Amino acid sequence: MSDKVLRIGVTAGVNPTAAAVMKAELLGVAARAGVRIEVISTGEELRQDATDKKTMEADRRIAALRQTTALQAMGCDEVIVPDVRIDPVRRELQAELEVPVVSIYDGLAALGSRRIGVLGYAVSADFVLSRAAEGSTVVLTPEAVMESFSQLQNAETGLRRQGMTAEHRERFVAAARALVAAGADLLVPACTQMARFANVLKEEGLPVLDILADTAVRAVTKPLARLGKPFKVGLIGGLGPAATVDLYDKIVKATPAKTDQEHIKLVVEQNPQTPDRTACLLGQGDDPTFALYGMAMKLEADDCDAVIVPCNTAHAFMPYVERHLSIPCINMQKAALEEIQAKLGKEARIGLLATRGTVQSRIYAEKAEAMGLPMFVPDEERQDRVMAAIYGPEGARAGFTDGVCRDDLMSGVEYLVRTYDCNCLILGCTELPLILDESDAFPVAGKSVMMIDPTAALARKVVKIALEKNKAAGR
């Protein structure tokens, strides 16, 4: 007997009576196979106040997700939802989980091509057939048998509430015999309560697939591997709101997706009340560290794998925040500098256009120095004009993207190119790409220079990391 304990979760609240049978089957199989297991179940009950079938079905599915999620958090190696109505949507349920969900119909195909008699109609005969081996067929259910199934599946007087009474047994066995007489060589339950009493048909020598017992055997003797986690990005938002939307938009546009489902998981924690980062760095405002860490902490608790920040200046505070996180911050400045280095190599001469707070914090300069990339900034006069392009009455934050703000920004651009022979310029504030577009060949002072938007560079890096992680996880 192995020392490892296999932890199997069973959602007891979705279908309690079937869950009891499943737990007994699991323990029996484990004892016979010499496998150490621990069966863990959830106690949350299915809501009973739905007034229509669609709501009832939605309640059942949400209960399945709630309970499997809880079992995953409890450390289960695999989970079983002993309810036939969930199996047709198991793939959608599995997409929300890392713990594998054991299908209760996966053993059917292994039995080869069969003529199937379907017991009940909680799931369709077409679904049962879809899980069978190629060449299998479904025997037409006689009308009298369908009437018996209707009585056995009745919510108040059927198997669920009354159990296997003598009357129900007679009806159940007769229906099964009728299907065999109609040509079935295998009986497959399409009703959880009939699956629960498959042993009754076994006792009568009828060819029934006991889907609950079969599921227990597969779960214990052939446990499924845990799935990789889909990569999830947490966006620290509100710095400012428009910059948050801009980064999200650029991530969407950078993703090579043809359908909604091919995009990456992302959650935004928005706090526009975060104190101004530039004002704090210049000694003129409140500290935004509390707000930044508060957002990052919530994103970490939301199971994000990394955080990103749409504000250049906020990155001056992120090293202090990141020290207290278990997940990394994908750095905007590093993303931009890596792209510059990849395109220009040792020939790069970088000019930085940014807020005075960003320039003084040296969040770009220190990284550039570490990478061996020369970086230059405007003189005081041009830096004032760059600030005006951002914060001035006709600046980007006031809603302007041309005219005075463009002239102000271009004064800094021309100064860096003429004075320092820069061949690459970083638009180091999220408002600046609203005035000048990112370009590999921006004409200025008789030269063609690279103009890079750090937000776009960050978006490209986020997408690259997410797609690589998802591929490695099999997602």
Catalytic center residues: 311, 429
Tokens of 362: 């040296």
Straight-line distance from the first to the last Cα atom of the chain, in angstroms, rounded to the nearest whole number: 34
Cβ atoms of 422 and 416 closer than 8 Å: yes
**Structure tokens of 73?**
């958090």
List the one residue out of 131, 272, 119 whose CA is nearest residue 200. Answer: 119
Task: Determine if residue 228 is left, alpha or beta; phi over 0 gives left, psi from -120 to 50 gives alpha, anything else beta.
Answer: beta
Residue 397 near residue 390 (C-beta atoms within 8 A): yes
The residue count of the chain comes to: 475
Closest CA to 210 of 436, 416, 450, 29: 29
Cα 155–161–163 angle (5° rounding)?
A: 125
Q: Note whether 26 and 216 are within 8 A (CB).
A: yes
Which pair of tokens denotes residue 403?
């005219």
Tokens of 158: 């059927």
Residues 6+ apart with CB under 8 A from 407: none
Contacts of 291 by beta carbon, 8 Å cutoff, 6+ apart? 271, 273, 274, 275
Residues 250, 212 contacting (CB under 8 angstroms): no
Q: For residues 173 and 201, is the Cβ–Cβ distance under 8 A?
A: yes
